Chains A and B, each alone.
Chain A
Amino acid sequence: MFKNYLKTAWRSIVRNKAFSLINITGLSIGMAASLLVFIVVQYELSYDKFQPNYNRIYRVVTQDKFDKDITYNAGIPVPALKALRAEFPHIQFGALESAYGSQITVPSGKNETGNKFIVETGLFFIEPQLFEVFSYQWLTGSPASLKDPNNVVLDEKTATKYFGSWQEAMGKTVLLDNTVPLKVNGILKNVPANSDLPLSVLVSYETLKQNGGAYNHFETWNTTSSNFNIMALLPANVKMDDINRALLQFSRDQYKPLQSNSIKTNFLQPLSSFHFDRRFASFGDHVTSKSTLLTLSLIGIFIILMACVNFINLATALSVNRSKEVGIRKVLGGNRSQLFGQVMTETAVIVCLSILVSLGIAWMMLPYIKHIASIQEQLSLFTLQTVVMVVSIGIIVTLLAGLYPSFVLSKYNPITALKNKMASAGVRGVSLRRGLVIMQFTISQVLIIATAVAISQMNFISKAELGFNKEGVLILNGKSDSISLSKQTAFKQQLLQIPGVQSVSFNNDAPSSDNLWSTNFGYNHQPDEKFQISLKFTDADYVKTFGLQLIGGRIPVESDTMRELMINETLVKDLGIKDPNEVIGKTIRIGRDQWYPIVGVVKDFKTSSLREDIKPVVITTRKKFYYCTGIKIRTQQLAGTQAAIQKTWEQFYPEYAYSPQFFDENIARFYQQEEQLSLLYKIFAGLAIFISCLGLYGLVSFMAVQKTKEVGIRKVLGASVTSLLQLFSKEFTVLIIVSFFIAVPVAWYMMHSWLNNFAYRIPLSIWFFITAIAGSVVIAWITVGYKAIRAALANPVKALRSE
């Protein structure tokens, strides 16, 4: 019996080639898309799950409550480590501190100054106790390898990169930031890429204690750096809430004596939220919000639903043509369940074919998706989860797409079926088909609107007035040790000799960045204000190099220490002052320091990504913090200028790796996630439109066949081609308009909340919605047009004879 099902199924697929092709194309693209979404979502959700104590690991984080707002910090003051151990002896704590952009120098026979490597992320100072919280595999050595100062543990790939093989690396000595010698004392197996703790260079924590100043590591309660984290492993029977309650009391006791203008509280952040909680900085390469994953999953489900809708639509439309076959089978003794089985088998065969095709598509697309989703690790298509997923998609789609048509077909009364009088079944089918087409066009239009809004917002961001000049500025990161600082003046002189270099500025930070140095302050001999300011330490050429604009007063005079201040418009406003000139000559006290005069006001510039508002800023001089060199270069002869800059760098700082960054690229990196999302929207909107057009095309082809006779008669009676085209397009236009009114509120809500992520955003103008409806109508007409014109132009005599 089953073999017979298969055989007829195959024959009917071959016979209805066009319909089968449309179905298989739609289904396989839909399935490939949702399979890829599944792989990405699954990968993001797998972060850190390889940790055996996943459910018991926490980070002790800090909440800072000010009058107006609350800030969160993944870090905690350094002395808290000792205090926590004393207060909670039953909990295992382990501390680590990350250092960004540190340099490791590996001695080399060929190169006098050794091979220099910049470790952008992944260098950590680590307590041996951390390995009682997190578990890693050791190729050689043990947590005890990190007990003493001046020891380092490398992971296998870093050891291989530095020394050729990890066996070679053991026992060798490397130099950290040209000052601290470290002996390679252990090798860790590579940490999986889906980890928020990407350990690669592990320096013993004792080393940090001895060199605290160089890494801004201070044993004080009033500094909280997000680089210093304390991890905790709770015993199996201890609840997070209980510890959080105890931490509330702990925080009260510890922070009260500080008398700061905010209330600090420590609490536990579970490991399961490390990858998803945007309030806290992550050591990993990215944080993904759960809502993005949800949006993605929903889109994946929608796409596959649309493909199923096509299937149901076409199958029910086709079933009218199949009524004769069904009637015969019934007369010959086929009962309902057998017919049901037969139609289901046909669906299953099409679904299986589609699965094969979709696996091919997914396999080809995987590298691109990996790139779009910025996933480092090799993704594989054939894991247990994906196989389970594919099989369940197959079953669900077969049921979704097959149940209704099978039901309709098997229900046919054999006598009416043989007469091909499907009047009653037909009418019901039509309203269902209309409903399904509306659903498809709703989804497509929502996606069109989302795409248009996302693209415009990203455009807006890239064109936004930033208040500074991001083009043609090269940023060099160095260190601010005394030797380096002493060479700065000469270095600058030499750089300015290069014809392509316009200006050079030493500073601690570019105008716009994520690393903000904030502090409390007082204005005009008053007590401390209720909000914090951001600090930037720069020389006098900063304004020129980054193209900032002075709107009052002057630039602070060049000085090795803090002497004069320049503030931004926002700070003036936040202080409740209207006229910028009013603040000039007034004083500000930073932290517990002395009062310094304000000598200038700078026009507002964006201090971080456009997601955030402009922060109140104080710009002042302090040579000690000038780690960065900003170089404004002419855009002509870029390559020559860059080569000359590199040569100068190597001449002055041979012991430091040269790793230049273009400022505009750094800024573009702020919006990586948004760019990815908007790219995904584009892809999915394209797919959704394609799939709904496929379905529409199928329906119209069917309609054309059904209406052949009607069109023939109308033509004989004198109907024009235009009026016949209207016959075809009227219905679809109405359906698109109906779906538009469903799509508008959905899309509005969705994009309104997305835009709310940005402090600077475009308005949700009516044009996005007009684009969506005009676009869908045009696309639908193009799809419908060809078939309709052919049907309308056909010879009426022929059409009538064929009936």
Chain B
Amino acid sequence: MIKIRDLEKIYRTEEVETVALNKISIDVKEGEFVAIMGPSGCGKSTLLNILGLLDDPDNGSFLFNNIEVANFNERKRADLRKHNIGFVFQSFNLIDELTVFENVELPLIYTGVKSGDRKKRVEEVLDKMQIMHRRNHYPQQLSGGQQQRVAVARAVVNNPKLILADEPTGNLDSSNGNEVMTLLTDLNEQGTTIIMVTHSEHDARYSHRIIRMLDGQTVLENIMV
């Protein structure tokens, strides 16, 4: 599903040049659950952003479902993204002005789903995440774990083939964290590809494969048994 080769990302400011990704090459097959680990600043988030088509690489090739997307313009990337990829962030990133229901509904609005279908779909997902009873609450009225469940709900509502999660449990205590990990595992079992950045060895154990990074390169891959 994902095939990147010699991908480079370099941040230039006036004084310094930071090589965030240094000719990195990775493959991810459909249905895989991959964890990315590494010390702070090694380029994990940068990689995830590029995989999520939020950012473009400076060099190298990126095949998404066998299509070269490394030089897509913003419009094409947004189009591909909204139909195929869901995101979960460490800091939840819910819109404070919208209710739980409306937050989850948002991706469906952007992909142009009709209002009746949207309602059905959102309710289904909220039910699955066991957050239905909070549908009319605003994000600030929820606990961290609940907020992250809403974020996961929002990530999957479009039935994306790929979910990218950047430290999804970083802001959660262990029981809430485990709950989210279980959700992700369930989704993976139903066929969704998952790529997750994490600092926690415990969380990484939920995955099939761990990619360890250092200074913008992969240094090690552990296949889980």
Which residues of A are at the interface with B, using a C-beta cutoff of 8 A? Answer: 1, 4, 7-8, 11-12, 15, 324-325, 327-336, 338, 413-415, 418
Are A333 and B81 neighbours in the complex by a CB distance under 8 Å?
yes
Closest 6 CB pairs of A and B: A333-B82, A11-B97, A333-B110, A335-B78, A332-B107, A328-B93
B224 within 8 A of A: no
Cross-chain contact of A338 among B89, B94, B110, B154 (Cβ < 8 A): B110
Q: What's the nearest-Cβ distance from chain A to residue B98, in Å?
A: 7
Cα A338 to Cα B74 in complex, Å, equals: 13
Cross-chain contact of A8 among B87, B97, B107 (Cβ < 8 A): B97
Are B98 and A8 neighbours in the complex by a CB distance under 8 Å?
yes
Q: Provided the pairs A332-B82, A332-B154, A333-B82 are in contact, do residues A325 and B96 lie with their beta carbons within 8 angstroms?
A: yes
Cα A1 to Cα B97 in complex, Å, equals: 16
Q: Provided the pairs A8-B98, A415-B55 are in contact, do residues A330 and B93 lie with their beta carbons within 8 angstroms?
A: no
B95 within 8 A of A: yes
Pairs across A and B, CB under 8 Å, 28 listed: A1-B109, A8-B97, A8-B98, A11-B97, A11-B98, A12-B97, A325-B97, A328-B94, A329-B106, A330-B54, A331-B52, A331-B54, A331-B81, A331-B87, A331-B93, A332-B82, A333-B78, A333-B82, A333-B83, A333-B107, A333-B110, A333-B111, A334-B78, A334-B106, A335-B78, A336-B75, A338-B110, A418-B89
Q: Which residues of B contact A324 (CB under 8 A)?
A: 93
B49 within 8 A of A: yes
Are A329 and B95 neighbours in the complex by a CB distance under 8 Å?
yes
* Other A-B pairs beyond A15-B96, A335-B78, 16, CB < 8 Å: A8-B97, A325-B95, A325-B97, A328-B93, A328-B95, A329-B95, A330-B54, A331-B81, A331-B93, A332-B82, A333-B111, A335-B74, A338-B110, A413-B55, A415-B49, A415-B54
Are B110 and A332 neighbours in the complex by a CB distance under 8 Å?
yes
Are A327 and B97 neighbours in the complex by a CB distance under 8 Å?
no
Cα A638 to Cα B54 in complex, Å, equals: 87
Q: What's the nearest-Cβ distance from chain A to residue B80, in Å?
A: 9
Cross-chain contact of A327 among B78, B93, B96, B106 (Cβ < 8 A): B93
- Interface of chain B residues 148 through 206 with chain A (CB within 8 A): 154
Q: Which residues of B contact A418 (CB under 8 A)?
A: 89, 93
Q: Provided the pairs A330-B78, A332-B154, A414-B54 are in contact, do residues A15 and B110 lie with their beta carbons within 8 angstroms?
A: no
Q: What's the nearest-Cβ distance from chain A to residue B177, in Å?
A: 21
Q: Which residues of B contact A415 (CB under 8 A)?
A: 49, 54-55
Q: What's the nearest-Cβ distance from chain B to residue A755, in Å?
A: 54
Are B109 and A4 neighbours in the complex by a CB distance under 8 Å?
yes
Cα A409 to Cα B212 in complex, Å, equals: 36
Q: What's the nearest-Cβ distance from chain A to residue B100, in Å?
A: 14
Q: Which residues of A contact B74 (CB under 8 A)?
A: 335-336
Q: Which residues of A contact B107 (CB under 8 A)?
A: 332-333
Q: Which residues of B contact A333 (CB under 8 A)?
A: 78-79, 81-83, 107, 110-111
When C-beta atoms are compared, the residue in chain A nearest to B109 turns out to be A4
Are A334 and B93 neighbours in the complex by a CB distance under 8 Å?
no
Are B97 and A15 neighbours in the complex by a CB distance under 8 Å?
yes
Q: What's the nearest-Cβ distance from chain A to residue B108, in Å?
A: 10
Are B94 and A334 neighbours in the complex by a CB distance under 8 Å?
no
Q: What's the nearest-Cβ distance from chain B to residue A133, in Å?
A: 66
Encode B108-122 as 1/0 by CB contact (under 8 A) with A: 011100000000000
When C-beta atoms are compared, the residue in chain B nearest to A332 turns out to be B107
Cross-chain contact of A334 among B83, B87, B96, B110 (Cβ < 8 A): B110
- Interface of chain B residues 62 through 80 with chain A (CB within 8 A): 74-75, 78-79
- Interface of chain B residues 88 through 144 with chain A (CB within 8 A): 89, 93-98, 102, 106-107, 109-111
Q: What's the nearest-Cβ distance from chain A to residue B47, in Å?
A: 12
Cα A418 to Cα B89 in complex, Å, equals: 10
Cα A331 to Cα B78 in complex, Å, equals: 8
Cα A328 to Cα B110 in complex, Å, equals: 12
Q: What's the nearest-Cβ distance from chain B to residue A411, in Å?
A: 10
Q: What's the nearest-Cβ distance from chain A to residue B125, in Å?
A: 14
Cα A525 to Cα B89 in complex, Å, equals: 108
When C-beta atoms are compared, the residue in chain B nearest to A7 turns out to be B102
Q: What's the nearest-Cβ distance from chain A to residue B149, in Å?
A: 16
Q: What's the nearest-Cβ distance from chain A to residue B101, in Å?
A: 12
Cα A335 to Cα B77 in complex, Å, equals: 10
Cα A327 to Cα B102 in complex, Å, equals: 17
Q: Which residues of A contact B78 (CB under 8 A)?
A: 330, 333-335
Q: What's the nearest-Cβ distance from chain B to residue A330, in Å?
A: 7
Cα A1 to Cα B106 in complex, Å, equals: 10
Q: Which residues of B contact A338 (CB under 8 A)?
A: 110
When C-beta atoms are compared, the residue in chain B nearest to A327 turns out to be B93
When C-beta atoms are compared, the residue in chain A nearest to B164 turns out to be A331
When C-beta atoms are compared, the residue in chain B nearest to A337 turns out to be B75
Q: What's the nearest-Cβ distance from chain B to residue A80, in Å?
A: 77
Most chain A C-beta atoms within 10 Å of own C-beta, residue among B79, B82, B95: B95
When C-beta atoms are compared, the residue in chain B nearest to A8 turns out to be B97
Cα A719 to Cα B96 in complex, Å, equals: 35
- Interface of chain B residues 43 through 69 with chain A (CB within 8 A): 49, 52, 54-55
Q: Which residues of A contact B96 (CB under 8 A)?
A: 15, 325
When C-beta atoms are compared, the residue in chain A nearest to B87 turns out to be A331
Cα A628 to Cα B34 in complex, Å, equals: 108
Q: What's the nearest-Cβ distance from chain B to residue A573, in Å?
A: 76
Cα A1 to Cα B49 in complex, Å, equals: 27
Q: Which residues of B contact A332 (CB under 8 A)?
A: 82, 87, 106-107, 110, 154
Cα A4 to Cα B118 in complex, Å, equals: 13
Q: What's the nearest-Cβ distance from chain B to residue A586, in Å?
A: 91
Q: Which residues of A contact B82 (CB under 8 A)?
A: 332-333
Q: What's the nearest-Cβ distance from chain B to residue A26, in Å?
A: 23
Cα A644 to Cα B82 in complex, Å, equals: 94
Q: What's the nearest-Cβ distance from chain A to residue B23, in Å?
A: 21
Q: Which residues of A contact B79 (CB under 8 A)?
A: 333, 335
When C-beta atoms are compared, the residue in chain B nearest to A10 turns out to be B97
When C-beta atoms are compared, the residue in chain A nearest to B95 turns out to be A325
When C-beta atoms are compared, the residue in chain B nearest to A324 turns out to be B93
Q: Which residues of A contact B89 (CB under 8 A)?
A: 418
Most chain B C-beta atoms within 10 Å of own C-beta, residue among A4, A331, A413, A418: A331
When C-beta atoms are compared, the residue in chain B nearest to A336 turns out to be B74
Q: Which residues of B contact A331 (CB under 8 A)?
A: 52, 54, 81, 87, 93
Cα A326 to Cα B74 in complex, Å, equals: 15
When C-beta atoms are compared, the residue in chain B nearest to A1 turns out to be B109
- Interface of chain B residues 193 through 223 with chain A (CB within 8 A): none
Q: Which residues of A contact B109 (CB under 8 A)?
A: 1, 4
Q: Which residues of B contact A11 (CB under 8 A)?
A: 97-98
Q: Which residues of A contact B94 (CB under 8 A)?
A: 328
Q: What's the nearest-Cβ distance from chain A to residue B195, in Å?
A: 15
Q: Which residues of B contact A334 (CB under 8 A)?
A: 78, 106, 110
Q: What's the nearest-Cβ distance from chain B to residue A225, in Å?
A: 74
Q: Which residues of B contact A12 (CB under 8 A)?
A: 97
Most chain B C-beta atoms within 10 Å of own C-beta, residue among A324, A329, A333: A333
Q: What's the nearest-Cβ distance from chain B to residue A405, in Å?
A: 16
Encode B9-49 as 1/0 by CB contact (under 8 A) with A: 00000000000000000000000000000000000000001
Q: Which residues of B contact A336 (CB under 8 A)?
A: 74-75
Q: What's the nearest-Cβ distance from chain B to residue A203, in Å?
A: 74
Cα A328 to Cα B82 in complex, Å, equals: 12
When C-beta atoms are compared, the residue in chain A nearest to B102 turns out to be A7
Are B95 and A335 neighbours in the complex by a CB distance under 8 Å?
no
Q: Which residues of A contact B52 (CB under 8 A)?
A: 331
Cα A1 to Cα B95 in complex, Å, equals: 17
Q: Which residues of B contact A330 (CB under 8 A)?
A: 54, 78
Cα A334 to Cα B110 in complex, Å, equals: 6
When C-beta atoms are compared, the residue in chain A nearest to B52 turns out to be A331
Most chain A C-beta atoms within 10 Å of own C-beta, residue among B55, B75, B78, B89: B78
Q: What's the nearest-Cβ distance from chain B to residue A679, in Å?
A: 45
Most chain B C-beta atoms within 10 Å of own C-beta, residue among A329, A338, A414: A414
Q: Which residues of A contact B93 (CB under 8 A)?
A: 324, 327-328, 331, 418
Q: What's the nearest-Cβ distance from chain B to residue A389, in Å?
A: 34
Q: What's the nearest-Cβ distance from chain B to residue A328, in Å?
A: 5
Q: Which residues of B contact A414 (CB under 8 A)?
A: 54
